[in-house]
Amino acid sequence: MNSNQNPPSPNQNKSLVDEALIEGHEYDGIKELDNPLPAWWLFTFLITIIFSFLYWIHYDLTATGPSTSAELEMELSQLQALHSAATSKEPSVDLQSLVKNSKALEVGQGVFAARCAVCHGAKAEGQIGPNLTDRFWIHGKGTPEDILQVVSKGVLEKGMPSWESMLSATEIQSVSVYVFTLKNSNPPNAKAPDGTEIKE
């Protein structure tokens, strides 16, 4: 650095400021300088304007882009397809054979105690939900297959949730056959019959 170089004088600084003043831009004694915005900021701003214009053409003017509702429907369809593919890979099980399977019944009893007893009673005698031990059924005819369908899909209008997303296929099958084995067990304080009587 040249030590002999003199710093700009106050008059020179004032001259530079005067050159940068925008004519007519003085308000309450405050003078506006012509300070241009940084190039990167202007470039970014220009990109956002171009993007907004193209977005408007794509989604509003030509309507070639999917709406949020259409995107939601597509995603739900994909989820349903994945769910169907996953369930279709589950091996089919003969529920009638599980009725005599002590291991399956033990698993089913545990699932029932943890998930079902709060509404149907510890011995399936019925509380909020119906009695599951008599010959009267609201949905289906009380077969293992009918019970599995109700457990899987639920009965939302009656407050029973769908368990297929919360229990494994093995747990649903096991609890279904366990409930089937409770028929005619005659627990104490059983709830009054509800539904259609299924005669054997």
**CATH number for the domain including 148?**
1.10.760.10
Is 99 domain-assigned?
yes
Is 153 domain-assigned?
yes
> CB-based burial of residue 60 (10 Å sphere; 0-12 exposed, 13-18 middle, 19+ buried)?
exposed
Is 70 domain-assigned?
no
- Mean per-residue pLDDT, 178-195: 90
Q: Model-level pTM?
A: 0.55
Q: Which domain holds residue 100?
A: 95-197
Is 183 domain-assigned?
yes
The answer to whether residue 125 scores a pLDDT higher than 90 is yes
CB 162 within 8 A of CB 99: no
Tokens at 78, concatenated: 């994909």
d(CA 54, CA 165): 41
Question: Strand locations in 128-191, DSSP E?
Answer: 136-137
CB 138 within 8 A of CB 130: yes
Q: What is the mean pLDDT of the chain?
A: 83
Is 21 domain-assigned?
no
- The model's pLDDT over 145-172, given as tens digits with 9 standing for 90+, comes to 999 999 999 988 888 999 988 999 899 9
- The model's pLDDT over 58-117, given as tens digits with 9 standing for 90+, comes to 888 887 877 788 888 888 888 888 877 665 555 567 888 888 899 999 999 999 999 999
pLDDT of residue 157: 87
Number of domains in the chain: 1
Is 19 domain-assigned?
no
Is 83 domain-assigned?
no
Is 17 domain-assigned?
no
Give the confidence band of 200 by pLDDT, cuts at 50, 70, 90.
low
- Mean per-residue pLDDT, 29-58: 87
Give the confidence band of 124 by pLDDT, cuts at 50, 70, 90.
very high
Neighbours of 155 (CB within 10 A): 15
